[in-house]
Structure 1
Amino acid sequence: MPLIWCSISGHGYGHAAQVLPVLNELARRVPRLSAILRTTVPASFFEGRLHLDWELRPAEQDIGCVQHGPLKIDAAATWSEHGRFHRSWDAKLDAEVRAIRAARPHLVLSDISYLATAAGAQAGVPTVALGSLSWDLVLAKFADRNSEEHQTLIDRIRRAYAAADVLLRAMPGLPMDAFRRIVDIGPIAQASEPKPAALRQAVGASSEERLVLVGFGGVPLSSLPFQRLEAMAGYRFIFDGSVPASVSRIHAAAPLPFRFNILLASTDLVVSKPGYSTVVEAVTHRKPLVYVRRYNFPDEGPLVDFLHRYGRGAELPMDDFSAGRWEKALDAACAAPEPPAPAPQPMGAADAAEILTQYL
């Protein structure tokens, strides 16, 4: 029976959301396909979304970044955690190689753990990376040029990435020149059936109100300027987090019978950071996106460019976001003209599956 060892970075849910459509497309093409998920992403994320036999084997695959909420990266803590992870690198690599060999998969697929690319290659299994960013480029943004430790660690990550047979780079992706071979694929988005009428009924939204999804991914946002949003005429909000009982026009997403991707496809516009899945799915579903930038994460620039070229969007400055001064950005996103260029079809999952079936 064909088996994939699928390593998924546990930094938020973005990498899991990116690899899910690829695994589902593979399952449609490869009979009796199964997967071992090697990640710290909880099983609840995959339940009901992953349409093949799978087994979760939790294990730390990389660090990513240490964050205080979705908008603030703690550079010092990030380097400290990477130092901890790499102090036992040889033992981690040996354990991962032995685990892969014991499972005997046909393919190691990594989005985008460098431990997995190094271990898959050392285990003698075809190893493919998938993604739109790599951790060496993320860390380079925070590196001290005078720190030999920082550069040594980045070099180790690049060598581990270079062990992969190929990188499938999802549009829009970073250069990722650590990989020896790169094949570009289209944008990756989850298939979502919009249900705007059912959603409006569930939250009691009138036809005159714009329905706004506020969601910042797997690193949760702890609070919002709820009273300012409650007083914002003409808008009703769905928040992917806890909502105080004192508000009536802001609704928690969790109790609603819709997954996040269905919410995105069914609302009138979205407020988020410019993350890969959010941007690509907003463009795919022609939803205006109001984004709050961090300005120190390397894929933000390409994602914002992609949004403005193929979709509609407006930036909400961090201070205005925190203070609840959202009206100007929300109105600007809704009033933005249709993009001049047609959006590329989200064929990345099919592109990846066509290549990956050769190994299965």
Structure 2
Amino acid sequence: MHLCFSITAHGFGHAAISCAVINQVKKQHPDIKITVLSLVSKLYLQSRLCCEFELIPQGNDFGMLMVSPIEVDVKASALKYLALYNNWQQAVEQEKRILEKIKPDCLISNISPVSLDAALQLNIPTASVAPFNWAQIYQAYCLDPQQAEISKAKSVFDKMVSIYERVDFIYKPLPSVPFMLEKEIRVASICSQPPAPGAQLLQKLPAGTDKIGLVALGGLPTSLDLENWPRITGWHWLIDQDADPLRDDMSQITELPFSFLWLLSSCDLILTKPGYGTYCEIAALAKYQKARVISLERPDWPETPFLNQFLSARVPFVEVKLAQLSGEPLTTVVKQLQMLAYPAVQACDDGAVQLVSDLLEQL
């Protein structure tokens, strides 16, 4: 059997979900061939995948254009979707040619409607694997009744919905945003499983470090006031933002000889934003009752309430504004977070196991 995974290049969360599914496919059925159709970097995929795969660096799925990790560029996104809609079949034909050449037995998309349409037009079985689809996100940002282009925007939305409705298997991993309840197949959360906490990272950090904070806001730069970041006795910060020179209580993530998952499991506090991949990986660590979370407010993102409810039920959790990430306000948040009791441990089933077993049985 040959499976083709189409993965959006919008952030790393979609790729993290897909990689967890691919790894489970190969664990259950080592002989299945895997092709990845995506603009996600091969380096990232190799860091997550435990198997051989063919990467075809193509794709028409961009999700939403972002100004920062928490701010959508609504106008630019709307214009890009309109341009895609006006050239829809041309984009589909590009991906049809790829699928005709590689001849997969199923197209598994996270969550490109173009890839799904290409497979549907070729009568290739289709599956989508994501906590939402782009029609839901587009609806939240671009279907404003007051905008002048509302009729065109409605056409874009209807086009995407018509494709998602025809997908053969719609898998929605916990936590997800409901859309087509009668067709959606609910599974547990899907993520790569972080290792158990260890002490190796502490040995790489300055003497006197007994608490580690991880700044994990994704691939886009954020304007953090690192010059006025609080110094808290015993704390060392791992950052993913540009800072030159670095203070002696800070280290760049990229300069440490550990994977992101390994860093995640080694830290006492994680500063992040609402995003499926990191949230579910933190939830998978909850059984160790170590990590605590500060998350940036992202009230306009449709997935946020579902994500925050999911994670706050599993780990001590505080939501903050970007302006609070500096000086005394951040010190106060960190101290308050340390005082919160850990929630009762909840069972964390592996949605990738559930999905792969169900999908391969159906195929």
Fold shared, TM-score > 0.5 on shorter chain: yes
**SS at 2:118's partner residue?**
helix
> What is the rounded CA distance, in whole Å, between the counterparts of 1:45 and 1:307 in structure 2?
25
Q: Tell me what 1:277 maps to.
A: 277
> What is the rounded CA distance, in whole Å, between the counterparts of 2:299 and 2:37 in structure 1?
30
Residue of structure 1 aligned with 2:179, choices 158, 176, 181 = 176
Please tell me whether the aligned partners of residues 237 and 250 of structure 2 are also in contact (alpha carbons under 8 angstroms). yes
Please tell me whether the aligned partners of residues 126 and 169 of structure 2 are also in contact (alpha carbons under 8 angstroms). yes
Q: Tell me what 1:354 maps to.
A: 357
> What is the rounded CA distance, in whole Å, between the counterparts of 1:354 and 1:308 in structure 2?
29
- Measured after TM superposition, the shift of residue 135 of structure 1 is 0.8
- Measured after TM superposition, the shift of residue 63 of structure 1 is 2.1
- Measured after TM superposition, the shift of residue 289 of structure 1 is 0.9
Q: Tell me what 2:103 maps to.
A: 104
- Measured after TM superposition, the shift of residue 21 of structure 1 is 0.9
- Amino acid paired to 2:306: P
Assess, with a 3 A threshold, how the Cα gap between structure 1 residues 200 and 315 changes in structure 2: closer, same or farther. same
Q: Structure 2-normalised TM-score?
A: 0.92
Q: Tell me what 2:203 maps to.
A: 201
- Amino acid paired to 2:272: S
Assess, with a 3 A threshold, how the Cα gap between structure 1 residues 92 and 329 changes in structure 2: closer, same or farther. same
- Amino acid paired to 1:188: I
Q: Percent identity?
A: 23
1:296-331 Cα offsets, whole Å, 9 max, x none, are: 111111000111222220112222126773122222
Matched length: 355
- Measured after TM superposition, the shift of residue 34 of structure 1 is 2.2
Which consecutive residues of structure 2, in runs of 5 or more, have no partner in the other structure? Answer: none
Assess, with a 3 A threshold, how the Cα gap between structure 1 residues 51 and 98 changes in structure 2: closer, same or farther. same
- Measured after TM superposition, the shift of residue 333 of structure 1 is 2.4
- Measured after TM superposition, the shift of residue 101 of structure 1 is 2.0
**SS at 2:53's partner residue?**
strand
Q: Tell me what 2:310 maps to.
A: 306
1:119-155 Cα offsets, whole Å, 9 max, x none, are: 2121111101001011111111212224111111111
- Is 1:156 aligned with 2:184? no
- Measured after TM superposition, the shift of residue 346 of structure 1 is 3.7
**SS at 2:24's partner residue?**
helix
> What is the rounded CA distance, in whole Å, between the counterparts of 2:31 and 2:51 in structure 1?
8
> What is the rounded CA distance, in whole Å, between the counterparts of 1:359 and 1:108 in structure 2?
14
Q: Tell me what 2:227 maps to.
A: 227
- Amino acid paired to 1:242: D
Q: Structure 1-normalised TM-score?
A: 0.93
> What is the rounded CA distance, in whole Å, between the counterparts of 2:39 and 2:3 in structure 1?
17
Q: Tell me what 1:243 maps to.
A: 243
> What is the rounded CA distance, in whole Å, between the counterparts of 1:284 and 1:31 in structure 2?
25
Please tell me whether the aligned partners of residues 230 and 326 of structure 2 are also in contact (alpha carbons under 8 angstroms). no
**SS at 1:11's partner residue?**
coil
- Counterparts of 1:83-94 in structure 2 under 5 Å? 83-94=82-93
> What is the rounded CA distance, in whole Å, between the counterparts of 2:140 and 2:42 in structure 1?
31
Which consecutive residues of structure 1, in runs of 5 or more, have no partner in the other structure? Answer: none
- Counterparts of 1:101-140 in structure 2 under 5 Å? 101-140=100-139
Superposed CA RMSD in Å reads 1.9
Please tell me whether the aligned partners of residues 230 and 249 of structure 1 are also in contact (alpha carbons under 8 angstroms). no
- Counterparts of 1:291-302 in structure 2 under 5 Å? 291-302=295-306
- Counterparts of 1:3-42 in structure 2 under 5 Å? 3-42=2-41
Please tell me whether the aligned partners of residues 4 and 35 of structure 1 are also in contact (alpha carbons under 8 angstroms). yes
> What is the rounded CA distance, in whole Å, between the counterparts of 1:145 and 1:349 in structure 2?
39
> What is the rounded CA distance, in whole Å, between the counterparts of 2:16 and 2:169 in structure 1?
21
